[in-house]
Chains A and B, each alone.
Chain A
Amino acid sequence: MREERLFYWDMLLRGEEVGLEEVRQLAAKASADAPEEEKAAWVLLLSAVELLRTGTPSQRCHLRAYLRYQISQAGGKRGHKPIDPRELEQAGLDELLSIGPINWGEALEPCREKTRGSVDYSAKQRIEARLKEMCRRWWEELFGAPPKVLMEGGE
């Protein structure tokens, strides 16, 4: 199922539309006994899909920047290709991993014109808070009581 989720992650990163119900049905197949990482992965993906469908343009832009940033960090130093900010907006998993870890400012580059060129660090916190709230909701819906990490600093 991991490869399936990664397929959706790549679609999301490139700005392709992903059906929420389609992903939800796949996630629903995951057993309540599945490892925590699996559950977290489904919950995170569902939250991202929903937020990219229902969020404001600013939220969508910041979420995609957040995903670029976190995926590049999680991917480690697999690549060292120089960053081309013009290509970053359309960059999929393979391109992001070949670039290597990027910082928040670089990840936010495609949204910069909306913030008059300055790096909006608070945007990262805002989008995290929103994402966390959605993750908790999805966890509750799919797997029951959410873990402590999703409950801390809640509403």
Chain B
Amino acid sequence: MPQVFEEFVRKALFHELSPMEHKAHPSLDLLLKGLSGDLAPDMRSRLAAHLATCPQCFDRWRKLGELLEEEERVLETKAKAASLPELLRQREEARHINRVRSWLGSITAPFRLRPALAFSAAAIAALIIALGVTIPLLKGTNARLSSLTQEVASLKEEIASLSAGFTIPSHIPSPPSREELGRLVKEAQGIDDPWQRSLFLASRLSSFGITIPASLDLKSTRTYTVKPHDTWETIAERELGDKALWTILYLLNVKEVPKGELSPGQEIRIPEKR
């Protein structure tokens, strides 16, 4: 009968767990360590074996456990209460905001009571703002306009001086070197507008002693069709009156004739004579 065996087991275990006299008892420290799980497995089982047969220690251990649990609950509550200062701070902030709101309310109260007064005040404020914004803007625009006018005037003077000083030289005192000519070619190639290009060339070539003759109008150019056996020099001599001016011709057309190789039927630009 299984029930009989269960009786056998229960009797055996009842015998095991029945109270007995102990010569020594665990210290408070040991009990506390046991409750907090700080004991090694061996010590923990020794303590459990003692508690199972010592009602006094078992009661003490149980009460200590209850006290510890209560203490943990208190600590948890205290931890939650730590947010109380934060709550007070938030309330204080809210109070400050309310104070500002009420101050603003006291200022705007007359306007709320009299809409016409509010409208007039708003119109005056808008006018002040508009004036405050527009006047500095106008001042700034005027300043920009005057500086641009000055810039245009100085450019005009520069152009006039450039065109006035042009004379036809009988020879080139210091012609550009290959490298310098190469740089000029590169820079001239970067300028698309022929007028700008001619101005650029006039200013740069003058530094080499090559001046654009005043008789030549670089503002207006005409088309010239290259004939057989034409070179830059022969064209310059025939069309401009000085073969030394071939560089001007070449540089004027450097965008269209990058390598400088002329071929019959090709069209190049030549400055008009005044």
Contacts and interface: CB of A to CB of B under 8 A. Distances in A.
Interface in B56-78: 58, 61-62, 65
Given A2-B20, A71-B17, A152 B49 contact: no
B12 interface: yes
A140 interface: no
A44 B55 CA distance: 24
A41 B46 contact: no
B11 A6 contact: no
B45 A44 contact: no
A93 B45 CA distance: 8
Interface of B: 1-2, 4-17, 20, 34, 41, 44-53, 55, 58, 61-62, 65
A6 B49 contact: yes
19 contacts: A2-B20, A2-B53, A3-B49, A6-B52, A10-B52, A11-B45, A14-B45, A41-B16, A71-B17, A75-B52, A93-B51, A93-B52, A94-B51, A94-B58, A97-B58, A149-B5, A152-B4, A152-B5, A153-B1
Interface in A1-60: 2-11, 14, 16, 37-38, 40-41, 43-44
Contacts of B52: 6, 10, 75, 93-94, 97
List the 8 shortest-distance A-B pairs measured between CB atoms, nearest first.
A6-B49, A37-B15, A74-B13, A40-B12, A10-B45, A10-B48, A93-B48, A7-B49
B45 A97 contact: no
A149 B45 contact: no
A97 B54 CA distance: 12
Given A3-B53, A78-B58, A9 B6 contact: no
A37 B61 CA distance: 28
Contacts of A94: 34, 47-48, 51-52, 58, 61
Given A7-B45, A14-B41, A37 B1 contact: no
Contacts of A44: 9, 12-13
Given A9-B16, A79-B62, A93 B10 contact: no
Contacts of A70: 6, 9-10, 13
Contact of A74 (B16, B55, B58): B16
Interface of A: 2-11, 14, 16, 37-38, 40-41, 43-44, 70-71, 73-75, 78-79, 92-94, 97-98, 125, 128-129, 131-132, 135, 147, 149-150, 152-153
A73 B1 contact: no
Nearest to A71: B13
B205 to A, nearest CB: 97
B8 A149 contact: yes
A40 B2 contact: no
Contacts of A78: 55, 58
Contacts of B7: 149
Contact of B14 (A9, A74, A129): A74
B47 A150 contact: no
Contacts of B61: 94
Nearest to A4: B49
Given A94-B47, A94-B48, A149-B8, A6 B41 contact: no
A77 B199 CA distance: 115
B133 to A, nearest CB: 71
A128 B5 contact: yes
A128 B12 contact: no
A152 B7 CA distance: 13
B41 A74 contact: no
A6 B14 CA distance: 12
Contacts of B6: 70, 128
Nearest to A8: B45
A44 B21 CA distance: 23
Contacts of B65: 98
B47 A37 contact: no
